[in-house]
Every structure is written in C-alpha cells, then in structure tokens.
Chains A and B, each alone.
Chain A
Amino acid sequence: MAAAPDISMLTLYEKYRDIIEKGSSPQVNAERQKAVEAFNRLGIPSNKKEAYKYTNLQPWFKPELNPVLTNKGFEGNITEIFKCDVDTIDSHTIFIVNGHYQNGSNGSVLPDGVLVGSFTQLSKEHPKIVETYFGKNAPAQEDGLVALNTMCAVDGVFIYIPKNKVVEQPIQIVNLLSGEEDTLVFQRNLIVAEEGAQARILFCDHTLTSNRFVVNSVTEGFVNPLANVDFYNIQNQHNGTVQFGGYYFNQEAQSVLNANYFTLNTGTTRNNIFMRLNGSHAESHLSGLYLTDKNQHVDNFTFIHHAVPDCQSNELFKGVMDDSSTGAFTGRILVSPDAQRTNAYQSNNNLLLTETAKMNTRPQLEIYADDVKCSHGATVGQLDDNALFYLRARGISKDEALILLMYAFAYEVIEKIKVPALKEQIRELVEKRFRGELDKCDSCIICNQLADKFQELAK
C-alpha cells in the first residue's frame, strides 16, 4: 500500500517545458522524456524509502519555489568580485550561478582538445560525447531525485579531457547560489576523462544571498582506462540551503579516482556518491569530512560497486556533530558475483559534541564473491579523555585542547588531499570552522560585496 508518489514537480515541469527544452540538445531532451515517465512513477523519495531513511527531502521540493530554468546572465567580471575560500591555488576557474554557466569566466588556457564549459552549449556541439556518456550512470529510472534532475536541469558544467591529455592546473568550478526569493536550482554536470587522461577537478559550493535555496545537482563522471582523476567538493553554504548532490562515477580498467567531500557548512545536505568499478585493477579512494552544528543535517550515502575482479576501494568518512545537528552515513559496498580478489575497506568515525547532536550510521557489505577482503568499521563516540588530560597537563586550555583534538580527528581526511595548496586551504578552513570563525563562508565580506554588486546590477 505504498502512498502515491509526490509528483507536484511534474506540474512545474509541464509549466516551463518549452523553456527547459528550448536550449537543450535532442539527446538530452530524449533522456528528459524517459525521466518524466520515471518521475511520474517514483516521485521525490520520502524517508519511508530505505535509502532515504535518515533524510526526508520530500517537504523541500515544492512548486512554490522560484525555479531558475534559464541563464539569467551576469554582468561584470565575476572573477574579480568573487574570491572563493580556496583562492590561493592556481587554477582554471569557472563560475556557475544558480546552475547556469557564466560566460567569460574562463581563466587560463587549457591544453588542446580539453573542453570545460557550459553543459547546454557543449552538449549541443559534441553529440557523440553526449550519446556515449550522458545518462549512462545516473540512475534516473531508480531514484526520483535523479529523475527530477534529468527532467528539469538545463545547464551545468561539461568537462572533457581527451585521450592521454594531462591537465596540470586544477579545474575549479565555483557554484554560486544567489537570489531574492526562495530559489530552486537544478544543475547537471558531465565529466569525462578519456583513456590515460589526467585531471584534478574542484567543486566549490557557495551561497551569496540569505534566502532559501533548494538545489538538485547531478554529476556524472567517467574515468576511462588508465585515466586518473582527483575530485574535490567543498561545500560552504548558509544554513538555509537544502542540497541534493548526486555524484555518479564509473571507472574502467586501471583507472584511479580520488574523491573527497568536505561539508563545512550547510542547512540540509544529502550526497549520493556512487562509484562503479567496472574495469579490472581500478582503484577508488573516497573520503569525506562533515562538520555540523546548529540544526544542520548532513547525510552521505555512498555506494561502491565492485562489478569486476581485481579492484580496490578505500573509504573514509569522518564527522563532528555539534549543537542539535544530525549526521547520517551509509556505506554500501557491493561485490558482484565473480568480482574475485576484491579489496574493499571502509571506515566511518563520528564525534558527538553535545547532548542533542545525533548520528546514524549504516555501513553495509553485500558480497557475492568469495575471494575477497572486505571490512568496515564504524564508531560513534567522544574525544579521548586521556588525550584531553594530557594536553591540559601541558598547560593547554580545555577549549584549545578540544579544538586541537577535533582538528586531529579531522586530519586523517584532510591528509588525503593531493593538491598541497588546497590541502593547506582546507586545513585552515577546518580549523577556523572549529574555532567558530567560519560562520557562513570564509569570504563573507567578499560575498557581501558580491551580493551588493548583484543588487546594483539589478537596479
């Protein structure tokens, strides 16, 4: 007697259908049609669905929100106005505002054949790439939120690294949210690293204005044979943000993927992080750090699928929950029949700092092959009293000692960052976060300036 799915978003789609489809490529629109059917069947998942047990997103996706379905453009030089938290790294930076790519935000020159730009535009220009990859990884037929994204998303970032190309500079995508009323944002990203390609990609998520944002962002990533991709997501949004981030990666033989997720500030975040190891001797390293306070809620739902033999995966997620915040973690590892000689390790450690903070964790192993080494561990606890006393016995104040220990707890995740400048930045951000100095966004003043600029432009 399953309740009828909530399909109020369909009304929204029907209303704006022409606008949504107008700019998109025929292939993208074809997937859109399939997604409409799927969404009609699935709706937005409530917490009655096992996978969404700890996060109910249903109440947030409401037609009253103001959807941003066209590129409203941006006048002026965004790079000069906005400086991200992670501004000291020498990167190729582009800006996405409310899910739409901003022209002229290209920084440096990329190697020949490397494409980094608007999903809308590049998907029309490169139908072959779209045909091969788009919609192949994101489960629009199974997950209502992915169906919704496929149905409504128009733009986002399109990254293509051709065979054996090495992009030295990190590619940084600054995702900005800005609006005057409660805003609904869809974003669709496609990342393809062809055989032997190498790239480091960084997504920074920020809010510029104080209204509510509901975000549905889906990223598909393809890491082809021998390719090597580092992916970083740094989320630093205000407490009125509700974000569904779906990240669906496919890895082919001997590829390496490092994916790192840092949630420093948010309202409600649900990340779906899926990795399919689809070629032998592929390696996946997935890590995450979530620091929550006030009434924040962060739910990382990760799924590593060992579909073929001889692959390795390593997963580490750590969380610190303060005030009345809640954390959730699901770590599903699936080893398919015949995926022999799989090595899969997973660990989830959590600190609860207050009486009202909560944590739910579900590490799951689902194993259908016998020659495997798999393990998972999960802990929920507090800081070590002995360590705290040791620090205090050296004259370090209790508060300072707590910060040191929290930082030490988080360090294991930070250590995994491979870009030294980025590591240093994150390290500082995390420390500031623990000191309570990172209330909204490290670049608050700059954010505000930018917000003012927006106001000005609006006039």
Chain B
Amino acid sequence: MLKIRNLHAKIDDKEILRGISLDVKPGEIHAIMGPNGSGKSTLAAVLTGNEAFEVSEGSVEFSGKDLLEMAPEDRAREGLFLSFQYPVEIPGVSMTNFMRTAINEQRKYRGLEPLSASEFLKLMRDRKNLVEIDSDLTNRSVNEGFSGGEKKKNEIFQMAMLDPKLAILDETDSGLDIDALRVVANGVNKLRRADNATIVITHYQRLLDYIQPDYVHVLYKGRIVKSAGKELALELEEKGYDWIKKEFEE
C-alpha cells in the first residue's frame, strides 16, 4: 500500500529526513517511535504534502501511484489521512460544513454523486456514535475553543468520516487524559479492517497498550535505526532512548 524508498527531506536547507525506507501493507499497524526532533512529525508532513518541506531525494508510492507528485488534497482523496499533532482552529467554518465539503470532494474525485443532506447527517450521526464524540462538538467551528482532548477526538471523528486507506496518527496521544486516550484508541481499533492500515507516531509506549502494533520502528536523526515487533516498544519504555542514541551516535 505504501512504499517509501530512501526518502530525504529538508526545511530551510536543514536536512531532517535522511533516507527513510518503509513498507506498509493492508491490515497492518506500524508504530514509529523516537526521541524529540528525530523527524517523526516531518515524515507525516512530507507524506501528506506540507509545502514547508522539500523532498530532496527518494520516492513514495501509495496504492501504486507516485504520492510525491500529488497535491495535498489529492493525497487525501486517494485515502491518506493525517491526524494532526496540532489540529488547526478555523473560526467561522462550521464542522458540518467542513466535513460535508471534504466528503463530497472525495466522492467527486472517485466519481460518486454528492451525499444528500439527509444521507450526510445520517453518516455524521453514525460516525459520532462509533467514536463516542459529543454531538456538541460538531455544531461548533472547526477546532475553535476545543480542549486538547476534544481536538484529538475530533481528528478521530474526521478519520471515521473519511474512511481512509492509510491513517497516520501524529502524536495523537500527547496531552490526552486516560479517558480521551481510550476514546481515541477505541476509534482506531473499531475502524481497523483488513484493507486499511495505520501508522502511529508516538513518543511513548502508552498508546500502544491500546493499539497493538504489528511493527515498531525507531526513528533517530532522520533514519529508521531499528525495526522489530511490538516488544521493541516495551524495551524502549523500559530503557528510554539513551541506548539508541549511544548506539547510533555519529
């Protein structure tokens, strides 16, 4: 589904990603861990097409297409979803209007008729129930005045609405209380199918108690320095990142 080969990316001439290769297949959950500043969020930004970053080398294939050639919105329409680390507040744009526009643009891209108002509202209701989100949140402007936890739940709700092939959760667990963490994790688990995949970017093991990864990768200084099964996450939790740093210090 996703094939990353030797990906290099920089911002303002500073190289952040220095040769990443990764394969994600349908049905898999990958966890990407690493100390602060290792390039985790940059990877998410580059995959979704944030123009602040410049790809200097490498390739990314998504469902057989060249991802790096596509505009951010086309990547989304192809089924790539990012749960933002810092969801943006957009005052004046209602959640309903926002989601309806997003859904219908995706449908148009896939050659489908737009959803009628009632179909759309039904879908909203369904998904809200699925991720246990307060109906109140959808009546407000996008993320405006949401608490940290509400913002993250809202990201998962949007994921449920857009039903992506590949979801990237960028530090979705940071700043969440245990309750919100559970809601987020349940949402992810409920949406899990044999034909979709998830990349969980996280600093801590905590979220991985709820979402069981098939693979854990450690990112350090812009490279994947270690890949293993979920036991690697536990090891990191126990020993911290220092041993990784020591091992791979240049």
Contacts and interface: CB of A to CB of B under 8 A. Distances in A.
Whether A and B touch (Cβ < 8 Å) is answered with yes
A396 B84 contact: no
Interface string A376-413: 00000000111101111111111011001101111110
B72 interface: yes
Contacts of A393: 48-49, 72-73, 75-76, 81-82, 84
Contacts of B48: 393
B162 A394 contact: yes
A405 B90 contact: yes
B71 A390 contact: no
B207 to A, nearest CB: 21
B91 A404 contact: no
B72 A407 contact: no
Interface in B53-75: 71-73, 75
Closest 8 A/B residue pairs (Cβ): A408-B92, A411-B92, A395-B76, A392-B72, A390-B88, A394-B102, A392-B73, A408-B93
B158 interface: yes
A389 B76 CA distance: 11
Nearest to B91: A408
A344 to B, nearest CB: 23
A169 B122 CA distance: 37
Interface string B158-177: 10001000000000000000
A45 to B, nearest CB: 37
B68 to A, nearest CB: 15
Interface in B78-124: 81-82, 84, 87-93, 97-98, 101-102, 105-106, 109
B101 A389 contact: no
Interface residues of B, number: 31
B236 to A, nearest CB: 29
Contacts of B97: 404
Contact of B105 (A385, A389, A400, A409): A400
Secondary structure of the A side of the interface? helix
A369 B79 CA distance: 61
B93 A389 contact: no
Contact of B106 (A386, A395, A410, A412): A395
A387 B90 contact: yes
A395 B93 contact: no
B88 A392 contact: no
B77 interface: yes
A408 B90 contact: yes
B93 A397 contact: no
A389 B109 contact: no
Contacts of A408: 90-93, 141
Contact of A412 (B71, B76, B92): B92
Contacts of B82: 393
B187 to A, nearest CB: 17
B50 interface: yes
A228 B166 CA distance: 56
Given A392-B73, A393-B48, A398-B71, A386 B101 contact: no
A320 to B, nearest CB: 13
Nearest to B106: A395
Contacts of A395: 73, 76-77, 102, 105-106, 109, 162
B111 to A, nearest CB: 14
A396 B105 contact: yes
A400 B101 contact: yes
Interface residues of A, number: 24
A67 to B, nearest CB: 43
B23 interface: no
A396 B92 contact: no
A364 to B, nearest CB: 27
B51 interface: yes
B50 A389 contact: yes
Contacts of A389: 49-51, 72, 88
A386 to B, nearest CB: 5
Q: Which of A386, A391, A410, A412: most chain B CB closer than 10 A?
A: A391
Contacts of A384: 88
Given A393-B72, A397-B73, A398-B71, A404 B93 contact: yes
B71 A392 contact: yes
B138 to A, nearest CB: 14
A319 B231 CA distance: 56
A370 to B, nearest CB: 34
Contacts of B72: 389, 392-393
The winner among A384, A385, A392, A412 for most chain B CB atoms within 10 A is: A392
Nearest to A408: B92
A398 B49 CA distance: 13
B114 to A, nearest CB: 13
Most B CB contacts (10 A, CB to CB) among A392, A395, A400 go to A395
11 contacts: A387-B89, A389-B88, A390-B90, A391-B98, A392-B71, A393-B72, A393-B76, A395-B109, A397-B105, A411-B91, A411-B93
A400 B93 CA distance: 12
Interface in B226-242: none
Contacts of B89: 387
A384 B109 CA distance: 25
Contacts of B91: 408, 411-412
Nearest to B51: A389
A405 B87 contact: no
B93 A396 contact: no
Contacts of A410: 92
A390 B102 contact: no
A51 B89 CA distance: 38
Interface in A53-76: none
